[in-house]
Amino acid sequence: MNVKLHRLTKLESQIVNLYSDGKYNEAIKLANELLDNAKKTEDKKSMMNAYMNLAGCYYYLGQIESAFENVLLFKQLCDEFGDERDKYYLYSLSALIYEFEENYNEAKTAILECIHYALELDMYYSLCLSYNTYSSYLIIEENYEEALNYANIAMQFAKNHCPSDVLLQCQIYINVAYAYIGLNQLDTAREILEPLYSNSYLNSNLHEKGYYFYVLGLLYKRLGIYEKALHTFQEATIILSTYNDHLMLRVISKTTAQLYELLQDFENACLMWKQYITYSENIFKLRLSSKVRELDIKHSVAAIERRANMDTLTGVYNRYYLETTCNKWLTEAKQTGTSVCCIVFDVDHFKVINDTYGHLVGDEVIKAVGETCLHVLGNDENTIVGRYGGDEFVAILKGYSNSEVFQKAQAIFTALTELQVPYLHHHIQLKISMGVVCTESVPSAKKFTQIFKIADQALYIAKKHGRNQIVFLSKDNCSV
């Protein structure tokens, strides 16, 4: 996995800590400072971090339009400069959007992608959050057994990898308790929730405290302690109103209205139902005005993957993608008996071209080779071509007969040797040496390095016998 770690600056670390503590206004102030600094220095990664944190902060403050604007700005930079970790953040932001749209199937799909990337990249704090968020969506769907399972997985990772993060564990405990309430295991839920009331870490994050009061109110409602339930619902409403958390406020107003009806206090029930309608109307207006439909997360992830796998100079695949794809095809070939072939080729006397015309012209030659190969091989899903390094290129073919592979090799060879790269008032004519081998000749090959080594030896033979030719190493002979 090719991942370049971005070391957080002191300012970025402060923003992350404020965001984690629910101090969103303070985090926004610093994120805007980070953004200003990053724009001056053209630090794209810091700009992305600023937009990402601004999006999250505005979302949890109920400023949905501002949140989505920053998501779009993050996405635009991500399309051009994003890396593997940014796939996680893209899916995380998309989950927030689907959550606001109450499209929980898509939200769950996005969070499962977050879990995948967090596991792959050892992002354990993010992994815990993702498992816990997935648990929250299952709770909304009243799938309490699965919700409890995912919350417990989150807690296991938190204790193993984030043991000092008490607030994270509190967040997970709340979902564990909520699942137990849904499963009617009220004593267990009470044992978890009531000790959290005075937890200093939870009290430091008001947004999380508001959610805690709501879940505690549900527990008291189920236990029949109605006055306590009403009091905790009111506490939750007061806190979450400061964040304009329309989704949670609507849920609380509905639950409180139902409780008043249970108590036959129809006047207050009517007031709460009116609040519920108001929150519903506000959410509907925000959805109409949001730019959510401009966002295509899957497109951005695909763009990141393409860029991570491409050689920037030529537009063909890079060495990493060549190796990983070939390894995958060789593994499959062992089970299916499919042939995998490797073609290795380079430009004869490329150093002379560089020395004579300069490295910029040399780059143009390399680009022309890459473009020509793409044109010859087309969009065949069983064929990939990439730049191994310098002027050396590799094509991997799956499922072709020896004769078909040789025809492909000849087509590449002919196109490249007929290629004329313009330079001032004349053209540079290329000569190509090429080595070809298939798994039929090296049945023991399990890795790219093994089949490449034999093809590279064939290339060496082509050089030794005068260059500008193809050498195909078969099981029985060596044809030149």
Q: List the structure tokens of 474.
A: 């078969």
Count other Cβ atoms within 10 Å, centred on residue 80: 11
What distance in Å separates the CA atoms of residue 206 and residue 335, rounded to the nearest whole number? 56
Q: List the structure tokens of 209.
A: 């405290």
Output the pLDDT for position 300: 59
DSSP-derived 3-state class of residue 6: coil
**Dihedral angle of Cα 315, 320, 324, 330, to the nearest 10 degrees:** 80
Nearest to 24 by CA among 64, 53, 47, 66: 53
Instruction: Give the up-direction half-sphere exposure of residue 307: CA atoms within 13 A in the CB hemisphere.
Output: 17
Each domain of the chain, given as residue ranges in start order, spans: 310-479
Q: List the structure tokens of 62.
A: 């109920």
pLDDT in tens, the chain (480 residues): 444 445 567 888 899 888 888 888 999 999 999 999 999 998 888 999 999 999 989 888 888 778 888 888 888 888 778 887 888 888 898 888 888 888 899 899 999 999 999 999 999 999 999 999 999 999 999 999 999 999 999 999 999 999 999 999 999 999 999 999 999 999 999 999 999 998 888 888 888 999 999 999 999 999 999 999 999 999 999 999 988 888 899 999 999 999 999 999 999 999 999 999 998 888 887 765 555 555 555 655 666 666 678 888 898 999 988 998 999 999 999 889 899 999 999 999 999 999 999 999 999 999 999 999 999 998 888 999 999 999 999 999 999 998 999 999 999 999 999 998 988 888 899 999 999 999 988 888 899 999 999 999 999 999 999 999 999 987 665 443
462 touches 470 (CB < 8 A): yes
- H/E stretch holding 434 reads strand 432-438
Output the pLDDT for position 33: 93
Output the pLDDT for position 302: 62
Third-level CATH fold of 310-479? Alpha-Beta Plaits (3.30.70)
Is pTM beyond 0.75? Reply is no
Output the pLDDT for position 5: 46
Output the pLDDT for position 305: 66
